[in-house]
Amino acid sequence: MRLQVALGERAYEILIGEGMMAVESTWHSMPIGETAMVVTDNHVGPLYADRLRDTLAALGVQTAVHQLAAGEQSKTLASWAAIMDQLAEERHDRTTTLIALGGGVVGDLAGFAAATWLRGVRYLQVPTTLLAQVDSSVGGKTGVNHALGKNLIGAFYQPSGVVADLDTLSTLPTRELVAGLAEVIKYGIIRDAKFFEFIEQQLDALLAGDTEQLGRAVVRACEIKAEVVAADERESGLREILNFGHTFAHALETLTEYAELNHGEAVAIGMVMAAELSVAEGWLAASVRDRIMRLIQRLLVLERLPKGLSIDEMIEAFQSDKKTRAGRLRFVLTRGLGHAETSEAVSQERLRKVLERFL
């Protein structure tokens, strides 16, 4: 399957299918020069880096590898600097293409490195997790975390292409599959009620790793992401809906120092909180909130809600959210399945009551 992210001169293709990483024809349509650096982590690298290097070598591409420790704790300026060091030591120039082979952390880091090395070189996304395939690999958000908040340092910098090899999903631990499915559910809530129904009907198959159903989910999620990004590349309006549940999620991740929840689990909890706030603000029927909660509870992630967090800590963490304007908190809420928008004036009293229910 080929999808297009329509961004004029920055347009690029998303290729989705089984076994695509090892097929030479996949790379014929990707803009890649004679040299490349694969950025990966110590979980994904041993599984796929050699396969990718061998495929690129057959095309005459000389490929280096930079491997970092897996996990959100590696999404730092120090990790970015280590990539810069290797690029400099190996004398990579502006013809080099960076290739992000891994999940969202690897993709964000490699993209930020590409945006900043010699003021910008090409990069390709080769996402190997469900979460990265349906979300972080598309749209050009790159960057690293700061101690005071997630993704505070970075740049909008579009990849030159995305290769989503569905075969890589077969090696995902269940927890990572669940994390990706949380983001898949998000697309149904914010943009496509029929897609939400599909997920309700097929969740057991998706959790079991059914390749056909996972492929359908990845394609539809990418279609929605591409449509939204094409309409609002730099998140000045419509694109904010992609952050449904994320204001809560990023606060949970920051306050637990990225050690208790992975991103998808935090998003799942955050979406339940956002649905609850939508009801409290009079936007959403309680019956729809219950439907959202039932589906997310089937992922078994709500049991992972961190203990010991205070309401005041959460509200303070919200202040670092990128949607905050002049100290005014803004949340993406839903008016019903398939429709979301940003609220400019959430009631502090109702927000505190929602947090009290969960914390």
Active-site residue, selected from the candidate residues 72, 235, 265, 281 = 235
Rounded average pLDDT over 170-180: 93
Higher-scoring residue by pLDDT: 328, 257:
257
* Spatial separation of the C-alpha atoms in residues 83 and 88, rounded to whole Å: 9
253 labelled catalytic: no
263 labelled catalytic: yes
Which residues partner with 17 through β-bridges?
165
> Is the pLDDT at 307 greater than 90, yes or no?
no
pLDDT tens column, 48-95: 999 999 999 999 999 999 999 999 999 999 999 999 999 999 999 999
Question: In the 8-state DSSP scheme, what is residue 307?
Answer: S
141 labelled catalytic: yes
Active-site residue, selected from the candidate residues 239, 289, 323, 330 = 239
42 labelled catalytic: no
Active-site residue, selected from the candidate residues 75, 150, 250, 289 = 250
pLDDT tens column, 212-251: 999 999 999 999 999 999 999 999 899 999 999 999 999 9
225 labelled catalytic: yes
Active-site residue, selected from the candidate residues 43, 141, 191, 323 = 141
pLDDT tens column, 24-53: 889 988 999 899 999 999 999 999 999 999
Decide if 321 contacts 272 (C-beta within 8 A). Answer: no
Active-site residue, selected from the candidate residues 92, 225, 289, 330 = 225
Reference 310, options 358, 275, 270; nearest CA is 358
> Is the pLDDT at 351 greater than 80, yes or no?
yes
What pLDDT band is residue 255 in, cutting at 50, 70 and 90? very high
What share of the chain has pLDDT > 90, as a percent? 85
Active-site residue, selected from the candidate residues 220, 246, 289, 330 = 246
119 labelled catalytic: yes
Both tokens of 343, joined, read 């609220």
pLDDT tens column, 256-303: 998 889 999 999 999 999 999 999 999 999 999 999 999 999 987 666
Decide if 310 contacts 277 (C-beta within 8 A). Answer: no
Q: What integer pLDDT is reported at residue 132 of this predicted model?
A: 96
Active-site residue, selected from the candidate residues 176, 183, 265, 276 = 183
What share of the chain has pLDDT > 70, as a percent? 98
325 labelled catalytic: no
> Is the pLDDT at 304 greater than 90, yes or no?
no
pLDDT tens column, 108-148: 999 999 999 999 999 999 999 999 999 999 999 999 999 88
Domains of the chain: 2-171 (3.40.50.1970), 175-358 (1.20.1090.10)
Q: What integer pLDDT is reported at residue 240 of this predicted model?
A: 95
243 labelled catalytic: yes
350 labelled catalytic: no
Higher-scoring residue by pLDDT: 327, 187:
187
Which pTM value belongs to this model? 0.93
Question: Is the dihedral angle over the CA atoms 338, 341, 347, 352 positive or is it negative?
Answer: positive
Decide if 65 contacts 36 (C-beta within 8 A). Answer: no
Higher-scoring residue by pLDDT: 194, 149:
194
Q: In whole numbers, what is the pLDDT of the chain averaged over residues?
A: 94
239 labelled catalytic: yes
CA angle centred on 178, ends 104 and 307, rounded to 5° = 90
Active-site residue, selected from the candidate residues 145, 243, 262, 330 = 243
> Is the pLDDT at 194 greater than 80, yes or no?
yes
